[in-house]
Structure 1
C-alpha cells in the first residue's frame, strides 16, 4: 500500500522516531482510520510507513510538526532559514531524498571512484562537481556542530592539499582579514567555526548562488553564497570560493587547494534580504582566480 522508496522510508523513520509517543500513536490512528490497533512505538512507525500513500502526504500530516522536519534537515546538513514555512521544509526534504536516490543510482555505475574524498563521474561538468562538492563539504562541516546532536563525520587535513591557503574576511561592526597556511591550520580554523562557534552554513545551490569554472591546467573553481545561522538565529551571509585539484592517487577524487571565505554579519548588511543570497563575484573576477 505504501509508495515509499527505501530512501524516503529511512528519512521518514528518522523523523517519526523523534516524535512524542502520544503523537505517534495518534498519527497511526489517523493514517489507518483507527482500523489497526498498535501496542508500541515500533508497531506504530511501521504501520504509519506501510499505510502512507507517499512521503509528501505523510510529511504534511498535522502531527508531523515543522520543527521535526527542520531539525531533521539540519542533521542531514541542509540548513534552512529558521522562519521557513512547513511547506518549504516538506519540499526541501522531498528534494533531498530525490537527490539521494539519483546519487545512489550513479554510485552503482563503474565510473565512480571509491575514495573517501568528494567524488565525481568521469567526463564531469564543473557545475555538477560544484553542486556535489558543496553538498558534501557543508554537510561534513555542519556535522561538527555539537548543537545538532549528531555524530560528527570524519573531518581533518586529509581533505586539503598540504600547501592549502585560507583567507578569511569577516565584516560586522569592523572588518578583519586573516590568512592561514597548511592543511592542519586551515582544517582547524574551519572546524572552529562549527565546533567552537556553533555556526551552521546553509549554501544556496540555486543558479544565482553557485558558480563553477574549470581551467585548462586542472584547477576547478567553485563559488557559493549562503546564510549563516546559530540555533534559530540568522547571523548573516557568506560567500566562499574553493579551488579544487584532482588527486593523482584516485582518478575521480578532489582535494581543496585554497579557500576564500567572506562573512558579513547583519550589521554589515543594512537590513538587506538574506533568505537566498546571490554571489557578488562576476565571471571575470572568478576567471582571474582560475588563471
Structure 2
C-alpha cells in the first residue's frame, strides 16, 4: 500500500532537518543499493517512498534509530512516556502524525462553520494567500538588496534561464550562498527591477505530491523607466522549524526573457515555463 500524503509530510518533518538529513540521504542510498546517490532531501524522500511503500517497514530501518524517533517524538509531545521499545515509538510517531492531521482538519472545520454562509472564491484559498504574501515579501527584499542567506534554506537550489537576442544562458547552483550570489549578480549586471504581477492572474500557489508549497509568479523586468522583458518564477517552499516555522524557499526556478514590446502585465496563463506546474493540485483548506 503506497505511503499516504499524511505519512509523507510526517517523514519530511522527521527527516528533513540539519541533524537528520544525513540519515535520510544514507537511507535512500542504502535502499537503492547505492545505485542512486541523492544530494537533495526531496529526491531522497521520493526514492524512499518509491522503494519502501510501507511506512512501518521504512521506520523500522536500522538507520532510523530508537534515539532518533524518541528525540523527535519528545520534541513534539514533551509529556510522552520514555519507556518505549522502537516498535512502540514507531507506532506512537505514526499515531502523532495522524492525530495532528485530524486536529488540523477539525480546526479548519470549526473555522469554516463560522463562515459557512460564505463561499470562498478560488483566489481566496489559503494557498494563494501564502503565495501572494511570499511574493510581496521576496521581491520587496530582492529589489531593495536586503535578501539574505537566512531567508533561504542552506541547501537551496536555483535553475536560472536568461533568454536574450544573442541566445539562451542557463545556470544552476545548489547552496544558499550561490543562489543569493547568482540572483543578485544577475540583477545588478542588467540593472533589473522585478515588478511582480501580484493579482491572482500573476501569482498563485500549488501543492506538489510531497506537500511542498509551490509559488508560481510572473511579472515584468524594468531598467530605469523602461520595461525590457518578463520573468517567470517557481519557488518551492518548506517551513523552517528553526525560524518560527516560516516558509522559506528551497528550490527556485527562474526564467528572464528580454522583449522589445513586453506586456503591461505578464500573466501565468501566458507563461512559457510554468504550464506544467499550473497543473499541480490547488488545496482549498488551511495548510498545516
* Normalised TM-score (structure 1): 0.49
* Normalised TM-score (structure 2): 0.49
